[in-house]
């Protein structure tokens, strides 16, 4: 385990099982359809890559980035698109793939933004969900695990751009960010 972590919350194997479960539901719901999978950079990069490889539905992969946390562990509520998708999503089914649905500020902004291009549908998939922290009325159509109000890192998730490459998800020691 990385020295800055208090504990591991999900091992590589547990994450794999969660991703498989989510993929199974998506495969069933979108069977025979074509999907545009939109990765919300950078946090969902590992989840996106693993999920995409478990999908049996035809899909196109695209990427979007929005400003979120800097060095703070709190979302500012000030969201802006910093990297746009390149696919034409009009008439397409879109699935936004995000690491964590927390306050909902980021995802409601992205969902609203992507809903402005006449897509057939725009749905949300989040690996983790922290429903207790929600500030916007938004729910994930697909979510992996519901977690408590803990700040987690690894498997794409960072603190100050570190720890994204850890293959597991863990809880940071409070002294690292206090
Ligand atoms: P929201 O706008 O929903 O508050 O923030 C969502 C984003 O905040 C997530 O996509 C993620 O990047 C970041 N975030 C929320 N909770 C955590 C967490 O526990 N750890 C890390 N590393 N990032 C988080
Ligand atoms: Mg994110």
In order of their start, the domains of the chain are 13-147 (3.40.50.2020)
Task: Please report how the helices 12-29 and 45-54 are oriented relative to each other, as an axis angle in degrees rounded to 10.
Answer: 50
Tens of pLDDT, residues 112-156: 999 999 999 999 999 999 999 999 999 999 999 999 999 999 999
Give the residues surrounding ligand 1 with Cβ less than 6 Å away.
43, 68-69, 75, 98-107, 151-153, 157-159
**CA gap 118, 92 in Å, rounded:** 8
Q: Which residue has the higher pLDDT, 93 or 78?
A: 93
**Where is 108: in which H helix or E strand?**
helix 105-114
Can you give the pLDDT at residue 76? 57
DSSP character at residue 106 = H
Question: Ligand 1, residues 2, 45, 64, 69: which to mutate, most atoms within 8 A of Cβ?
Answer: 69
Q: Which helix (H) or strand (E) segment is 23 a member of?
A: helix 12-29
Residue 57 tokens, joined = 């539905």
* Tens of pLDDT, residues 7-25: 999 999 999 999 999 999 9
Look at phi and psi of residue 154 and say left if phi exceeds 0, alpha if psi is from -120 to 50, else beta: left
CA 32 / ligand 1 centre spacing (Å):
33
Residues of the chain above pLDDT 90, percent: 89
**Does residue 73 register a pLDDT over 70?**
no
Strand duo 5-10 + 142-146: pairing: unpaired
Residue 148 confidence (pLDDT): 93
Q: In the 8-state DSSP scheme, what is residue 173?
A: P
For residues 94 and 152, is the Cβ–Cβ distance under 8 A? Answer: no
Q: Is the pLDDT of residue 55 over 90?
A: yes
Q: What is the pLDDT of residue 71?
A: 46
Q: What is the CA(45)–ligand 2 centre distance, in A?
A: 9
> What is the largest distance, in Å, between two alpha-carbon atoms of the chain?
49
State mean pLDDT over 36-60.
97
Residue nearest to atom 14 of ligand 1 (CA): 100
For residue 48, give the H/E element and its range: helix 45-54
Note residues around ion ligand 2 (Cβ under 5 angstroms).
Answer: 43, 99
pLDDT confidence bin for 70, thresholds 50/70/90: very low
**What's the average model confidence in pLDDT over 100-110?**
93
- Confidence at residue 38, expressed as pLDDT on a 0 to 100 scale: 98
Mean pLDDT over each residue of the chain, to the nearest integer: 94
Q: Residue 105: what are its φ and ψ, rounded to 5°?
A: -60, -50
102 as an active site residue: the answer is: yes
> pTM of the entire structure?
0.93
Q: What ligand has the least distance to the C-alpha of 161?
A: 1
């Amino acid at each position: 385990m990385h020295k800055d972590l208090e504990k591991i919350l999900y091992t590589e194997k547990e994450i794999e099982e969660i991703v498989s479960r989510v993929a199974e539901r998506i495969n069933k719901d979108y069977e025979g359809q074509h999907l545009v999978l939109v990765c919300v950079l950078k946090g969902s990069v590992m989840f996106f890559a693993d999920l995409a490889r478990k999908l049996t539905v035809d899909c196109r992969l695209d990427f979007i980035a929005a400003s979120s946390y800097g060095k703070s562990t709190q979302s500012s509520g000030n969201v802006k698109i910093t990297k746009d998708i390149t696919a034409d999503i009009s008439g397409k089914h879109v699935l936004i793939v995000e690491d964590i649905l927390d306050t909902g500020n980021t995802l409601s902004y992205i969902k609203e933004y992507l809903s402005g291009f006449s897509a057939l549908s725009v749905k949300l998939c989040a690996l983790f969900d922290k429903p207790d922290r929600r500030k916007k009325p938004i729910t994930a159509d697909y979510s992996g695990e519901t977690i408590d109000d803990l700040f987690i890192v690894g498997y794409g998730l960072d603190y100050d751009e570190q720890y994204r490459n850890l293959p597991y998800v863990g809880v940071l020691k409070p002294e690292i960010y206090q």
